[in-house]
Amino acid sequence: MLGKEDGKVRIAVLVSGGGTNLQALIDAQDKGVIKSGEIVLVVSNKEEAYALERAGKAGIKAEVVLRKDFDSQASFEERLDALLSESRIDIVVMAGFMSILSGSFTARYPDRIINIHPSLIPSFCGKGFYGLHVHEAALRYGVKVTGATVHFVNEIPDGGRIIKQKAVEVMEGDTAETLQKRVMEQAEWIILPEATEEICAEIARGR
């Protein structure tokens, strides 16, 4: 289970891809935007995730847990849970982690797992809405404003309580790629560090 020692709240970041949100968290920690917590562990479910390079460069312990190495989702999650416990993790930040965690896993960490989603929930979220699909749906619908959301994670994909949101304008001629880039730069990379610090500060105060 969780166990914050005196000092910084211990953060684990779960990744699967490029790790630009992890990088935003690392940079925020270096700049003192994240000051109540410390990233002590990165876990990827993909061996080739560039996020692992970013963790290495920042001197952060990194682990890979591959679903194919386990005969069930439950044993995969048991391994993940063991890694979090070994590092005495207080809060889990899902930053582009492309694996749905079960309700029994998330129930072990009530209000201690947060996720960044690249839309203004409840728009364009839930099953099937990930990565570029989210921005393709926003463009298809013709919304003039989209953005990003940080929310607590529970058993419903993108269903937990909303912590922070930031709106981003959809521009004429946007493609899913140009929109994704703007949402990352102008929203995700700002609100994920801010939300992480807010939650860490609450935990540090004894929430």
- Do 64 and 47 meet the contact criterion of CB atoms below 8 Å apart? yes
Q: For the beta carbon of residue 121, count every other beta carbon within 10 angstroms.
A: 20
Q: In the window 68-97, what residues touch ligand GRF (CB under 6 A)?
A: 95-96
Closest CB to ligand GRF among residues 9, 93 = 93
Q: Which residues, in sequence order, are CB contacts of 128 under 8 Å at separation 6+?
A: none
Q: H-type helices in 32-162, by residue range?
A: 50-57, 73-86, 103-106, 132-141
Q: What residues are labeled active site?
A: 117
Beta-sheet pairing, 162-169 with 145-152? antiparallel
Q: Which residues, in sequence order, are CB contacts of 173 under 8 Å at separation 6+?
A: none
User: Candidates 5-13, 19-27, 73-81, 167-175 — which segment interacts with ligand GRF by CB under 6 A?
Assistant: 19-27
Beta bridge partners of 146: 168
Question: Of residues 8, 13, 14, 21, which one binds ligand GRF by CB under 6 A?
Answer: 21
Min CB(199)–ligand GRF separation in Å: 17
The binding track of 107-146 with respect to ligand GRF, each residue x by CB under 6 A or -, is ---------x-x------------x---------------
Check residue 18 for interaction with ligand GRF (CB under 6 A): yes
Residues contributing to the site for ligand GRF (CB under 6 A): 15, 17-21, 51, 95-96, 116, 118, 131, 184, 188
